[in-house]
A = this chain, B = another copy of it.
Amino acid sequence: MDLTPLLQDGGRIVLVVADGLGGMADATHDTELEEAVTPNLDALAAEGATGLLNPVGPGITPGSGPGHLALFGYDPETYELGRGVLSATGVEFDLRPGDVAARGNLCTLDADGVVTDRRAGRIPDEQAMPLVDRLNAEVDVDGAEVFFRHEASHRVLLVVRADGLDARVSDTDPEVEGRPMKACEALDPAAKRTAELITEVDRQIREVLAGQAAHALLLRGFDTLQELPSFAERYDLRAATVAIYPMYRGVSALVGMDLLPRPGDLDEQVATMGAHWDDYDYLFLHHKYTDEAGHDGDRARKIAEIERLDAAMPAIRDLGPDVLIVTGDHATPTQLSAHSWHPVPVLMWGPHVGRDDVDRFGERACAGGILGQRPTLDLMPLALASAGRLRKYGA
């Protein structure tokens, strides 16, 4: 339903996303969230309403882009975002219509060109940045501008700017180690020249990086800028993010959130939120490390990161949100070391949210919650309503 005719002024909403929060109970383990000791989250669950969210669709394992768009109330099947655009917006690169952007991984190759480490040993920033500087200085392609921007560790943004580009080209990232890089190919006849440009850029990158700590950029997610309607247009909300990671700042910017000064850690995220409290109706805090631990299959660390977020909840609660939501963008069970399709627990807390009998924040507890099990896309209208921001529909 189009909410715009129903919008009115109301209270303040805080969305806290623990990336990859959801887990998978199995024969030997509870989920990480169930095992974590989370007195503050449990108190919010006990005082509020709980449920389970399905980010994109039944059985669908979402990437971070679709997972967050759904949390923001944008149907991920309508608004498809490539990783290139997310990366570009994340590093605050001034991407223009017609530019083609891709995410690049600094990687290592053996003498035969076979990928030996897709992340170049998670190369530290201080080693990666000079390499990116050299790429900017030395890669030079006729008839196009080529930009490289360092994101973090092995992650690099590539942007190609020229007339008549078309992003329908294939990735060069083989996605597994032990194989050579793939050729960039046009997926549509209109993208032939773009594929040729990328092929030349790739050749020059390898030339520039020969003998360095990383030997090539694995490119994936070629994309052009798609304009999204903003939070202001859709929800009449002044919205801001205190995310740390570029990609989540990126997707926030795409929906028109202000990017608050980049905090260094969770405490600074909460402090930044507090410092700008009066200027915004909607504040988005993103906690990345639960997902990282999930990807690494590190159960103890995922639990510790959940407990770290739990410890931050009193400070967030003390800011006085009218609606406080804690959930994830998808599941990243440590047993799978990857994103998954399993449902994600959610809690909503605030004077008009309602409450249920669930007094524990965990997947199986939330299965009995009053929010039920529902698409993540439902979250935004529920949040707006709970903040008093949606008028009655019909007479």
Q: In the complex, what residue of chain B is closest to A385 when comparing beta carbons?
A: B59
Contacts of A59 in B (CB 8 A): 3, 378, 380-386, 390
Secondary structure at chain A's binding surface: helix, strand, loop or mixed? loop
| Residue A328, interface by CB 8 Å | no
On whether the beta carbons of A342 and B354 are closer than 8 Å, the reply is yes
Report which residue of A66, A354, A369, A395 has the largest number of chain B beta carbons within 10 angstroms of its beta carbon.
A395
Contacts of A374 in B (CB 8 A): 58, 373
Contacts of A339 in B (CB 8 A): 392
Partner of A26, one of B58, B355, B371, B392: B355
On whether the beta carbons of A392 and B58 are closer than 8 Å, the reply is no
Q: CA separation between A27 and B351, bound complex, in Å?
A: 8
Contacts of A27 in B (CB 8 A): 47, 351, 355
Q: In the complex, what residue of chain B is closest to A335 when comparing beta carbons?
A: B352
On whether the beta carbons of B336 and A394 are closer than 8 Å, the reply is no
1/0 per residue, CB under 8 A from B, across A112-139: the answer is 0000000000000000000000000000
Report A57 CB to chain B, min CB distance, Å.
5
On whether the beta carbons of A24 and B392 are closer than 8 Å, the reply is no
Contacts of A393 in B (CB 8 A): 56, 60-63, 66, 76
| Residue A20, interface by CB 8 Å | no
Of A78-86, A186-194, A205-213, A275-283, the stretch lying at the interface with chain B is A78-86
A63 touching B341 in the complex, CB below 8 Å, given contacts A47-B27, A367-B370: no
Q: In the complex, what residue of chain B is closest to A390 when comparing beta carbons?
A: B59
On whether the beta carbons of B352 and A24 are closer than 8 Å, the reply is yes
Report which residue of A62, A83, A335, A372 has the largest number of chain B beta carbons within 10 angstroms of its beta carbon.
A372
1/0 per residue, CB under 8 A from B, across A344-376: the answer is 000000011011110000011001111111100
Q: CA separation between A6 and B364, bound complex, in Å?
A: 28
On whether the beta carbons of A354 and B395 are closer than 8 Å, the reply is no
Contacts of A103 in B (CB 8 A): 395
Contacts of A357 in B (CB 8 A): 364
Q: In the complex, what residue of chain B is closest to A380 when comparing beta carbons?
A: B59
Q: CA separation between A66 and B57, bound complex, in Å?
A: 21
**Besides the known contacts A338-B392, A341-B385, 19 further A-B residue pairs in the complex with CB atoms under 8 A apart:** A3-B59, A24-B354, A27-B355, A57-B381, A58-B374, A59-B386, A60-B381, A62-B392, A76-B393, A81-B394, A81-B395, A82-B395, A86-B395, A103-B395, A340-B352, A341-B381, A356-B367, A357-B364, A373-B373
Pick the 6 closest A-B CB pairs, nearest first.
A59-B381, A372-B373, A83-B395, A59-B385, A58-B378, A63-B394
> Could you name 12 residue pairs across A and B whose Cβ atoms are closer than 8 Å?
A1-B60, A1-B77, A52-B370, A58-B378, A58-B385, A63-B392, A63-B393, A63-B394, A103-B395, A336-B352, A341-B385, A356-B367
A interface residues with partner B (beta carbon < 8 Å): 1, 3, 6, 24-27, 47, 52, 56-66, 76-77, 80-83, 86, 103, 220-221, 335-336, 338-343, 351-352, 354-357, 363-364, 367-374, 378-386, 390-395
